[in-house]
Amino acid sequence: MQQLLESLGLINYGIFHFNDIKFLDSIVTDIFNGAKADNPSTRLKNSSKLFNLLIEVKNLARENNSNYENINYEKLKPVLSFIESNYNKNLSIDDMSSFIKVSPQYLCRLFKKNMNMRPFTYLTKYRLQKAKEMLLNNMEMKIGTIYTEVGYNDESYFCALFKKNEGVTPSEFRNLNRL
């Protein structure tokens, strides 16, 4: 057993906080229920389940390690730059994930873990920030131009999204912030 733990890198002790303990609990319950059966096939399956449990514990522990989080954030930086350079285009989750060569699901996990939001939430916030800059820096620019400049195809959708996030319409935002 010691060799197995060492091969998995589980030789150090530590206290970790797991956000999804139900997942680990379901694996342990499955192993426990399998241990009640007394046949070689079930023991072999249990051995495999135990190994999977150890791998999951290792992965979850690694995700809680701050060095690992920094690595994840570093991996996310290029896609943040990609979004910031291409926010005015019609971006898809596939565009974003393929830019850093990860699956869309993994990209969503990276964003959630490091930014506490999904990739499209980040894109929306960035687009709205750019729209606010345009509203304030280009007083003569029409809202009908701004929404296309920041990557939206529908003015009413843009205005509704702006109001939902800022509490005021783009016109009201501009009027409230006139100097």
Same domain, 82 and 95: yes
- The answer to whether residue 24 is domain-embedded is yes
Same domain, 56 and 83: no
Average pLDDT value for the chain: 83
Q: Grade residue 12 by pLDDT with cuts at 50, 70 and 90.
A: low
Same domain, 53 and 70: no
Q: What is the pLDDT of residue 123?
A: 95
Whether the predicted pLDDT of 63 surpasses 50: yes
Q: Which residue has the higher pLDDT, 57 or 138?
A: 138
- The answer to whether residue 152 is domain-embedded is yes
Q: What is the pLDDT of residue 152?
A: 95
- The answer to whether residue 8 is domain-embedded is no
Same domain, 72 and 97: yes
Question: Residues 52, 71: contact at Cβ < 8 Å?
Answer: no
Question: Residues 32, 44: contact at Cβ < 8 Å?
Answer: no
- The answer to whether residue 2 is domain-embedded is no
Domain count, the chain: 3
Same domain, 31 and 46: yes
Whether the predicted pLDDT of 40 surpasses 50: yes
Task: Give the domain extent around 21.
Answer: 16-63
- The answer to whether residue 6 is domain-embedded is no
- The answer to whether residue 4 is domain-embedded is no
Same domain, 70 and 59: no
Question: Residues 80, 36: contact at Cβ < 8 Å?
Answer: no
Closest CA relative to residue 79, chosen from 41, 106, 60, 57: 106
- Written as six digits, the tokens of 7 are 């091969």
- Written as six digits, the tokens of 87 are 């926010």
- The answer to whether residue 105 is domain-embedded is yes
Same domain, 24 and 53: yes
Instruction: Average the pLDDT over each of 44-48, 91-95, 157-161 and give the range with the smallest value.
Output: 44-48
